[in-house]
Amino acid sequence: MREDEDIAIETATLPLDAWHRARGGRMVEFAGYWMPIQYEGIMAEHLWTRENAGLFDVSHMGQLHLSGDGLNEALEAVLPGDVKSLAVGRMRYSLLLAEDGGILDDLMLSRWADGIYMVVNGAVKWEDIGHLREELPDAITINHFEERALLALQGPKAIDALTRHTTGERPLETLTFMVGGAFRIGDVDAWISRSGYTGEDGFEISIDAGKVQQVADLLCGEPEVKPIGLGARDSLRLEAGLPLYGHDLDPAIDPVEGDLAFAIQKRRREDGGFPGAPRILGHLADGSPRQRVGLLVDGKLPVREGAKLFDGEDEIGVVTSGGFAPSVGAPIAMGYVPRDHAAPGTAIAAEVRGKLVRCTVTAMPFVPHNYVRKTGA
């Protein structure tokens, strides 16, 4: 093979690949894996999850365990979040930042007794691992859990279905949003957190890949649970106003522009010390030049990623995610506009098939979040 010839990279399979296909999952390539985009249909699966419970296979995500002396300080040198205050069993949304403050990935951190458990996006997990190995001191050990699977059980009845099969040191229902712990599902050891990316109550379940079919069969044996594909996962997170890395977030966007300033806790804002701090803290103080916003679309024509946004004849921004929202009953989108166009109620237009479609900037989420939070939180 000549050096300039492309090397074909084979699409990987999830541990549940045969399970998905046997249940009628229509498989597509996503983030380097064959993944089910739908079973019965995106609309039906979306609404089922909002009303019952859907089981999502997100085993393409990168599951990492980090440990070693000085771990908190090392992570705070690459993330803008407050790692030091994260208690055992608690979770935190954070961002892996480039030197200029651009977002390399968004991720979840959980404090385990022996270190930090981190879940990163599947499409960039290898880049994330490489970046962490380069930026973190040699004293920090990074263990990639390649032999673990990750499931997400989402929806208002997820607690009912999962409780029937779960035992642990504490009752499952005592977990609140962004809290996790060690449990057993049947006879399978699992790390379960009350979290997810649909806006609904639900759980994420990390287990040995060799036991994932056993757990999937148990859960889908419950009347509240159906397997749900990638299509509904996308429409659910869009309605919840949650960004998707590689679409709504990328290295050109910083956390303030991405409407993710909540991920920078008070101490980090005061102390700085994270990549791109001058840019980010400046945007926190003075406002960012552009901002991620939600868009309500007039009519029935969906506005898709890449559509240009206009104020009159002036091009002002771009749509980064969009589509029909089953729970809203209308098309919605999110995208970036200048700060002076970001106020809810601002009228702009999106170009669709050569025509301008009226849109209105709106606050997100498009549907209320239904997380189970700690009383008083």
pLDDT in tens, the chain (377 residues): 444 445 567 999 999 999 999 999 999 999 999 999 999 999 999 999 999 999 999 999 999 999 999 999 999 999 999 999 999 999 999 999 999 999 999 999 999 999 999 999 999 999 999 999 999 999 999 999 999 999 999 999 999 999 999 999 899 999 999 999 999 999 999 999 999 999 999 999 999 999 999 999 999 999 999 999 999 999 999 999 999 999 999 999 999 999 999 999 999 999 999 999 999 999 999 999 999 999 999 999 999 999 999 999 999 999 999 999 999 999 999 999 999 999 999 999 999 999 999 999 999 999 999 999 986 44
Which element (helix H / strand E) includes 316? Answer: strand 314-325
Position 375 scores a pLDDT of 61
Please check whether residue 35 lies inside any domain of the structure.
yes
Please check whether residue 68 lies inside any domain of the structure.
no
Q: Are residues 29 and 152 in the same domain?
A: yes
Position 9 scores a pLDDT of 77
Q: Are residues 235 and 335 in the same domain?
A: no
> Would you say 178 and 201 are in contact if contact means Cβ atoms under 8 Å apart?
no
* DSSP letter, residue 280: H
Q: Which residues on neighbouring strands pair with residue 281, listed in sequence order?
A: none
Please check whether residue 75 lies inside any domain of the structure.
no
Structural domain including 313 reads: 291-377
Max Cα distance, the chain (Å): 64
Q: Which amino acid is at 280?
A: I
Which residue is it, tokens 């001191």?
137
- Distance CA(340)–CA(235), nearest Å, equals 28
∠ CA 189-198-248, nearest 5°, is 115
Distances from the Cα of 84 to the Cα of 73, 104, 229, 258, angstroms: 8, 22, 36, 24
Please check whether residue 120 lies inside any domain of the structure.
no
Q: Are residues 207 and 313 in the same domain?
A: no
User: Which structure tokens are listed for 111?
Assistant: 């404090």
Of 200, 224, 239, which residue constitutes the final position of a domain? 239
Which CATH number is 47's domain given? 3.30.1360.120
List the one residue out of 109, 83, 196 whose CA is nearest residue 150.
196
Q: Are residues 183 and 299 in the same domain?
A: no
Q: Are residues 42 and 176 in the same domain?
A: yes
Q: Are residues 172 and 41 in the same domain?
A: yes
Which residue is it, tokens 């803290």?
281
List the one residue out of 180, 193, 203, 75 whose CA is nearest residue 131.
75
Of 216, 239, 262, which residue constitutes the final position of a domain? 239
The number of distinct structural domains making up the chain is 2
Q: What is the side-by-side strand order in the sheet with 12-13?
A: 12-13, 33-38, 26-30
Q: Are residues 369 and 308 in the same domain?
A: yes
Position 131 scores a pLDDT of 98
Q: Are residues 28 and 165 in the same domain?
A: yes
Q: Are residues 303 and 223 in the same domain?
A: no
Q: Are residues 299 and 367 in the same domain?
A: yes
List the one residue out of 33, 51, 97, 38 whose CA is nearest residue 224.
51
Q: Are residues 364 and 222 in the same domain?
A: no
- Distance CA(364)–CA(165), nearest Å, equals 35
Q: How crowded is residue 250: how many other Cβ atoms within 10 Å of its Cβ?
A: 15
Please check whether residue 356 lies inside any domain of the structure.
yes
- Distance CA(115)–CA(69), nearest Å, equals 10
Of 205, 239, 273, which residue constitutes the final position of a domain? 239
Position 376 scores a pLDDT of 45
Please check whether residue 223 lies inside any domain of the structure.
yes
End-to-end CA distance of the chain: 60
Please check whether residue 166 lies inside any domain of the structure.
yes
Q: Are residues 230 and 310 in the same domain?
A: no
Which CATH number is 304's domain given? 2.40.30.110
Length of the chain in residues, anyone? 377
Position 6 scores a pLDDT of 55
